[in-house]
Amino acid sequence: MQNILKLDVAGQPRGWLSAQEAVSAYARGDVVYGIGEPLPPMFGGIQRLTGQRSAIHLQPIIALQGRVRPGFSLPLCNRTLFRRDEHRCLYCGLQFSRAELTRDHVLPTSRGGDDRWENVVAACRRCNWAKDNRTPEEAGMPLLAVPFRPNTWEWHFLSRDRVLADQMDYLSQQFRAPRDWAH
């Protein structure tokens, strides 16, 4: 079953729920509103008195009650980094599988560079080895794109392999620039 995009009551993405977690949220009465075409129903047990089987129709996006917390820490991991860079080495421009890519620090950590979105790019092993412990300028290997920190909506898209059309429509409305990530 597809994951459900979890929002706070203000409409900010706050994570992904499994179908079972979403059913629990519906059963507890925590769902404030839902967005999108209902997914195929999830069936429960049979009611003893009526003989009817229970069913819940989940929506692909649900907002849960609770307080709105400002900000959202965007974890940096290779999976989302490589998706941000479209599985492309930002030095040679070739596309690679996730297993063939490495995380390269534009300003090496040994020289004070941080492990943060704005200082890391996807690099193939050959280019990462050739760049070594130098900046792109020192290595004569200019970056093909500027590394950036995705916003909350972009990160939620990048963190999943399968995103439903309704979820993509919702998230992409807040992308900062046109992206070709869906293809």
42-91 tens-digit pLDDT: 998 888 888 899 899 999 999 999 888 777 778 999 999 999 999 999 99
Task: Work out the percent of the chain whose per-residue pLDDT is above 90.
Answer: 80
pTM, to two decimals: 0.81
- The SS3 assignment for 6 reads strand
124-153, pLDDT tens digit by residue?
999 999 999 999 999 999 999 999 999 999
14: left (phi over 0), alpha (psi -120 to 50) or beta: alpha
**Neighbouring-strand partners of residue 88:** 95
Q: Where are the domains of the chain?
A: 1-70+151-183, 78-139
Question: Among the CATH numbers 1.10.30.50, 3.50.50.60, 3.40.50.300, 3.30.70.1710, which is that of 78-139?
Answer: 1.10.30.50
Burial class (CB in 10 A: 0-12, 13-18, 19+), 104: buried
Half-sphere exposure (Cβ direction) of 85: Cα atoms closer than 13 Å: 36
User: Which of these ranges, 6-20, 22-36, 62-76, 153-167, has the smallest mean pLDDT?
Assistant: 62-76
Strand 4-7 with 42-46, pairing: unpaired
